[in-house]
Structure formats: C-alpha cells, structure tokens
Structure 1
Amino acid sequence: METTDVCEIDVATRRIVGGSDSPPELDSPCQEEVAEFALGLCCAEEERGETPGREDSPSDLGEAELDPGGDPKAGEDKAFGKEVVLLMQALNSLATPEEKLAALCKKYADLLEESRCMQKRLKALQKKQSQIVKEKIHLQGEHSKAILARSKLESLCRELQRHNKTLKEENAQRSREYEEQRKEAMLHFQMTLSDIEVQMEQHSSHNTKLRQENMELAEKLKKLIEQYELREEHIDKVFKHKELQQQLMDAKLQRITEMMKEVEEKQQRERDFLLKDATESRRKCELMKEQETQLKQQLSLYMDKFEEFQSTLAKSNEVFTTFRQEMEKMTKKIKKLEKETTQWKTKWESNNQALLQMAEEKTLRDGHFKALQGKLELLERLCRALQKERNDLNNRLSLLQEEGDKGTTSPPEAQRQEPSEEEVEGEEGEEGEEEEEEEKEEEEEEEEGSAQGDGQETEAIHQAPRPPELDSSSAATHTTTTATMTTSNQPAETPTTQQD
C-alpha cells in the first residue's frame, strides 16, 4: 500500500512540475530537484500521519467513522485523490516552476506550523488529562471516604433513633408520675386551705384586739418620736457648741505649736551656742590641763630643789655660827659676782645682737648664693651651647677642609691646640669642685667660731647664778643658733647634690 502511495505522489509531482499538457521531462535538473523535494515532503508527512494539502481531513475522517459499512482504505484513497486534484489545480494556475516551488514551500511551512500547534495542543491536553486523572483519583478517594462517612452516619442515626425512643418512653413515665404527684398535692393543698380558713376565723377576733393595742402603741410611739426630735435638736445644739469649742481648741493648739516651734528654734540656737562654748571650754580645759601638768612638773622640780635647799639650810644652820665670818666674805664675793653677772648680761645681750646680725648676714649670703647658683646654671647652659656651636663649627671646618683638600689631613699642632669637649668639661668640673671646697671651708670656720662663742657664753652663764627670766632668753638664743647651724649646713649640701 505504501509503495502505491509513493508512486502516485511521484506521478503527481511530475505532472505539477511539467504541467498538465506537456509530458514529463526527466532530463532537466530543475524538474529532478522538484521531484525529489516533493517525494521528501510526502514521506515526512506520511511518517507523521499527515498528508499535504489536507485541510478537510478531520471532516473526512469523521465521515469515515460515521460510515461503519465502508472501508477505511477506500475513504483514505478518495480523500488523498481530492487533495492531489486540488493541489494540481492550484499549481496549474501558476506559470513558472519557481512560483510552483514557492507555493509548495509555503504549503510545507503552513503544514509545519499547524503540526507544531497541534503538538503544543496535544501536550496541553496531555497535561490536562494527567491533572484530570489525578483529580479523578482524588475524587474517587473522597467518594470512598464519603461512603464510609455515610455508613458511619447511618449507624449513628440508628443509634440516635433508638436513644430517642428510650427517652420518649422515660418522659412518658415521668409525666405520669408527675400527674399522680400533682393530684396528691392538690388534695393536700385543699385540706390545708380548709384548715387555714378555720384558723382565720379563729384569729379574726384576736386581730381586732391586736388592732386596738396597735393604735395605743402608735399613740405612744408618736409621743416618743416627738420626745426623740426634741432630744435630737438639743443634741445638735450641743454638738454645734462642741464643734465651736473644738475650733477654738484647734486655734489654740496651732498657736501653742507655733510657740513651741519658736521655743524649739530658740533652744536649738542656744544648744548650738552652748555646744560651741562647750567645745571651746573643752579646748581651753585641755590647754589648762596641759599647762597644769607642765606647772606640776616645774613644781616638782622646784620642790626637789627646795628640799635640797632645806637640807643645805639645816647643814648651814649648824655651821652658821662657825662660818659667819666666811659668810661676810661670801657676801662681798657675791657683790662682786653680781657685778660680773651684770657684765655677763651686757655681754650676752651684745652676743645676741651679734648672732642676729650673723643670721641676717647669713640670709643675705644665702640669697647671694642662690643668685650665684642661678648665674652658674646660666653660664653652664651658655657653655654647653657654645660647646655645641664649637662642635658644629669644627664639623663644618672638617667638612670644608675635606672638600677643599680631598685627602689632606690637618697638622698635629692644630689638633693639639684645640682641646676636646671632655677636657673642657673636666676642667670646668674641677674648678666648680674647688669653689665648692672653698665655700665649705669658709662655712666650717664660721661654724667653729660661732660654736666657740656659744661655749664661752654658756660657761660664763653656768658660773654666774642667773635669774629665771634669763632662762627663756637663753633658750631662744640656743634655738636661733641651732637654726642658723642647720641653715648654714643646708646650702653647703645643695651644690653637691646639683653637681651629682
């Protein structure tokens, strides 16, 4: 069957290319190419299950399907013959073979587009079919679930019907029992009503008596109410009077509280003042206690001296008779010693003045020393700056000499004449040390002179009996001398520390 179809297509293509009237010319190359192209198209469309120029194929197939008696092969041959006839008519209308080829190409392109569209539709329909199959499966499952639920509901409905029947029977029994109880209660109620009517008749006479008594009690109550109102008025007046008294008492209390606050403030001020006085008095008391302890110590010393003096007096009284003449001599010596004490006093005052002058001179020397020290520091700084400048200049000279001579060395005499920085610094340090040693020697000599003067003064004071007034002045001079000694020692130590 396929071979006959291919032969028929070959004949049709040859007729299309050569024309209906002219015989086929197989020798020309153009006709051979057209025939090969038409054969390829027919084979491809037969493989897909389609034929070229078959627009009305579905209707023909439908007619073939509707006609169950006819053969399908005969229907296909008829449809194919009609399409070929239509194609031949369309191609015969064209003049040149190129136009016929172009028409065939257009027809082929249209058929390709239709086949692609049909494939897309087929894919979409297949997807829809798969979705519909899934939905069908899902619906079948739901249908089975619904059937199961329906069976369960039917069983539940049957149980409910049974339960309703039992409830109806129970309700009927309860209603019957309730009617019987209601009838019994009605009978009992009627009996009680009759009893109550009898009792009401009996109590009516008693109620009349009670009414009369109630009237009397009402009159008594009115009287009591009037008395109660009078008492309330009296009580209100008393309450008002008490409120006024309370207001007065509150005002008095406010005044008293204000007075108390003022008194408390005054007391607080007095307390603060008294506390301050107490603190001052405590301080004074402590100072007085300290003075008392000091005075007690002095008194104990004087008591010891007085006891010694009494012992000496007892001895002197025993020997007084024997040594009266010696006493007269001693009085003369005492007069001489008093004159000497006056002389020593004058000397001591002059020495004190000299010490004060020495202290002033020392302060001046200290200031001068500090000024010299500042100058020395400035000079040291200047020396260092000059040394740096000298070193810089030497370096520059050496560089200039090297650039000018290029290899020549400086003479040894010039090198000997220029001392090094270390030698200059060593000489300066030696000079500073010599000056410091000289200053130390001068200060030691001054200290020795002041110590000798102090020793002579103390020996003279110990030899002559001094009055108690001179003790305080001597202590003051001793403190001044010690202060001068310490101040004289301090500047001597400062330069050494600076040099270190």
Structure 2
Amino acid sequence: MVFQRDPEVIKLMKSFGGKAKEMKGAVMETLNARLAAGDTSNGAAVPSFEDEAAKKLSLLKQVIQKNAVEAAQTSKSVDQAGTPPSSSSPVPRKEPCVTAARKSPSPMPETVRSEKSPSPSTGSPKCCTPPESVVHCDKKVAQPTPSADNANQSRSPCCGGMRRSPLRKLGAQEANSTASAKRKGERAVENVLKILEPHETAEEKLGALFQHYLGFQEGTWQLQAAVQKAERQVRQLSREKEQLQSDCNRALLAKSKLESLCRELQKQARAVKDECMMRIRDEEEKRREVASKFQTTLMDITAVLEENQARSVQLREENFQLAQRLKGVIDHYDLWEKNIDAVLQQKELQAQVATTHLARAQAQLQAERQSFLAEKQIVLKQVCDSQRQQEELAARESHLREELSSHASKYEEFQGALVQSNQLFRTFKQDMEKMSKKIKKLEKETAQWKSRWEASNKALADITAEKHGRDKELVAAQQRVITLEKLCRALQLERNELSTKVKALGIDTAAEDSGPVEVVNESTEG
C-alpha cells in the first residue's frame, strides 16, 4: 500500500510558509527603514511608520486566524481519512488452501517390498499351465475385452488426451484374462483325463503323459520369462514411485516456505502502515503546536507594538512641545541680537559725536555689559536645559531601538524554529516516499512468489494424479503375480502326483526327465 498525503494539507503548509516569508520581509523592511531614518527622523515621519506597521500586523493576524481555521478543518478530515475500517488491510490476505497433499504420503505396500527381496518360498514355480491354455491365453491377450476399469481410465480427466503406455495396456489385458485363467486351470485336469481315456495300456498312457509333460515344460518356460519381465517392471515402477515421492516432499517443503514468507510480508506491511499512521498523527500534533505557538507569539508581538505605538505618540507630543519652546527661544535670541546691534550702532554714533562724554559712556557701557552678561548666563542656562532634554530624548530613542532589536531577534528565533519544522516535514516526506517504494517492491516480490506457488501446486496435482494411476497399475500387477503363483503351485502339485504315479507303475523314466527338471530348477533359482 502506497501512502499519499492529503493535497489540502500540503497546500495549507505552503500557504503558511508563504505568509511567514511575507511577514518576515515586511518586518525586515520596516526595521531597515526605521534604522536608516533613525538619525534624520522628525516628528512628521513617525506616525506614518507606526500606522503602516499596525495595518500590516492586523492584516497578518486575520490571515493567520483564517489559516488556523483551515488547518483545524483539514486535520479533522485527515484523521477521518487516515483511520480505515477494520475490515480493510494493506495487503489482501489469501489463506493458502490446505489439502490432503500436505499430509505425509502413504507408505509403500508390503507386497512391493517383498517383490524387491523375494524369498525362496515366493520364487518362481517349477511348473506352469499346459500348452493349450498358454495358446488360449495368448489369443485372449491379443484381443482384450473392454472392462469397466478401462472405460473409467479412458474417461478420467487427468489422463484425457494422452496415449496409454504399453505397460497400462498389458495390465488391463492381463486383468481381463485372470478370470478365464482360473477356469482354464480347472479344465486342464479334465483335458489330461480325456487325453488318457483313449489309451488302454499303461505304456501308451505313459507316452501320452510324457508328450503332455513336454508341452507343460514349454509353457512353464514361457510363463517364467513373463514373470521375470513383470518383476522387472514392478521394480522399475517402485523406483519411479520413490522418485515421485521425493519430488512431492520437496514441493511440500517449498510450499510451506512460501506460505511463511507470505505471512511475514503481510505482517511487515501491517507494521509499516501502523508506523506511517503514527508518524502522520505525530506530525499533525507538532503542526498544531507550532501554529498555536506562532499565534501566541504573534499576539505578544502585537501587544508590544501597540504599547510602543502609545509610547511613540507620547514622545511625539513631547518632541512637538520641546520644538515649540526651542523655536520661541531662538526667536527671542534673534530679536535680542538685533536689538544689541542697533544699540551698538547708536553707541558708536554717540561715541563719535560725543567723545568728550567717554568716561561717562564707559561707565554706562560697563553697567550695560554686566546686565548683558547676566542675561547671557540666563540664556545659556536655558540652552543647557534644552540640550539635556534633547539627550534624554535620544537615550529614550536608543532604548526603544534596543527593544525593537530584541523583538527582531525573537522573531528570527521563531523563524528558525519554523524553518526547522519545515526541514523535519521534508525529511518525513522523503522517508514516506522511500517506504512507499519499498512496499511496491515487496508487493511485486509477493506476486512473483504467488505465481510460483500456483505453478508448484499445479505440478503437484499432476504428479498426484499420475501417482494414483501408477498405484492402480501396481495393484493390478500384484494381483497378476499372485494368480500366477497360485497357478504354478497347482501345476507343481499336479506334476508331483503324476511323478508318483509314474514311480508306482515301475517305469524307469528318471534318466529322460532329469534334464528338463534341472533346467527348470536352474531358471527358478536364477
């Protein structure tokens, strides 16, 4: 699952950043203008700066309140959209179907094990069917009759469209001939009795039995070769079965590993989703805290600026009064200088006109100088007082500038905190993008493993179907071997009875019969 941030939240954060930059630029411009015009400022320039700053602060306060309301609404919508219903999950969980193939395979039948290590009691028999029954059996094998098992095998879906192997055809043909072989064994005794009926003497009957016995030997050799061939086929089938069983076990192990991997991937996806939601909630809380801190600091700044505005208004009035007083003093001093110039001119004329009255004029001049010095001292004292007031005003102005610089430093600290929060948001966004790429990669790997798992399941189904077919063939072959063993035992009993009868008649045929018997014993032992 790839997590995407709400575009409204991103837009809101961008608007916050833009408004903060605009506010910073406005404050820096006003500070630079105030510092640049600090030395040459007069009473008329102060009101325009303060009014402009008050307007900008009121406008900025309105914009921040509006953005705070939008942030609260978007945070609510993000919280509602970020809590999905409990039924949904980041990765669709599909439980693997647990079939009977997971169970341990059935052990090998004991009959197959006994065939791998045959005992002397279950070895090849020493006699077989008569030649007539052998010929009749060959005819039946050449033309097998269709049975219900063959029909079901031909209709089975797992074998549809595929040719039957020669081993399957042979198994079906021999299964069809087992019933007729039983009946032929019963008729064999009747045939022997019928062969002996037309002969009257014992020698003729013995010769007929000898000929009949030779036919039995030929049939025994043929059946012995067929039994050995069937045993080889059974061994080959058992080896194939073991190989298929090992392949099936490997497929089951791979399947269990794939299931565990799928579960781990689902757990990791859930953990990633929970971590993303927790980070989003933390970032939203941090953003709200930053917005509240920003609003409180802005309110403090507005309060300080209003206080400074009131102080500046008071100082402006005081400056205006001092300027009026200083202007009156300067006008009075100019008027006094004009009067003094007029008096000096008059005195010079009087000195030129009345040089004789010099002593009296000098005395009068002395008195006038003393009065002038007294008045001058008074005026100088007033000038010193005005200069002292001017210095006090300059000190107040420097103090106000220091306060303004402290407020500017606080604003820069706030701006640094805002930049740091923006950097944290960018790093969180980069982490989210990396995590979304990782989740996409994991989803692709999960799809690949899922396709491989489906292919292995399909191959496993094919193998199990083929195994069932081989098991049926093995059961049929075992039944054939059992019937052949029974037939061989019956023929062996019949041969023993005939040999006892021959010995009872007293005819010496041991030399003639020793050769074939030894051949049969050697073949059975081999």
TM-score for the superposition, normalised by structure 1: 0.25
Which structure's CA Rg is the greater one? 1
TM-score for the superposition, normalised by structure 2: 0.24
Structure having greater relative contact order (Cα 8 Å, sep ≥ 6): 2
